Amino acid sequence: MPTYITLFRYTQKGAENIKESPARLDKAKAAIKAAGGEMKAWYLTLGQYDAVVISEAPSDEAYATIMLAIASLGSISSETLVAFPEDQYRNIIGALP
C-alpha cells in the first residue's frame, strides 16, 4: 500500500477552533480507515507546518479523495508527498539505465 507524508497548516478557521482539532483528527483517522487505509502517525510540529501525518492508502486516488474531503471543511490546508520505502527506492535506482 502506498505511503503518504502529509504536511498540514491550520487555516484561520482551524486556528480559531483549535480546541475542536482532536475531534477533527479522530474523524480524519476514521475517513482514512473507511477508505481502506491507515493513519500510521500524527505529529504536532513547530515551524512552517503545524502538523505532519504519515498514512497509507490503497491508491493515490483514494488518498487524494480523502484529503480533498478533509480540506473542504476549511480547517486545514495540506501538501502531500508520496513516500517510497527503502526497498522501492533501491528498485527505482536499480532500474536506471
73-88 per-position pLDDT tens digit: 999 999 999 999 999 9
What local confidence, expressed as pLDDT, does residue 12 receive? Answer: 97
The grid cell for 14 is 482551524
With a threshold of 0.75, does the pTM exceed it?
Answer: yes
Rounded CA gap, 23 and 30, in Å?
11
17-64 per-position pLDDT tens digit: 999 999 999 999 999 999 999 999 999 999 999 999 999 999 999 999
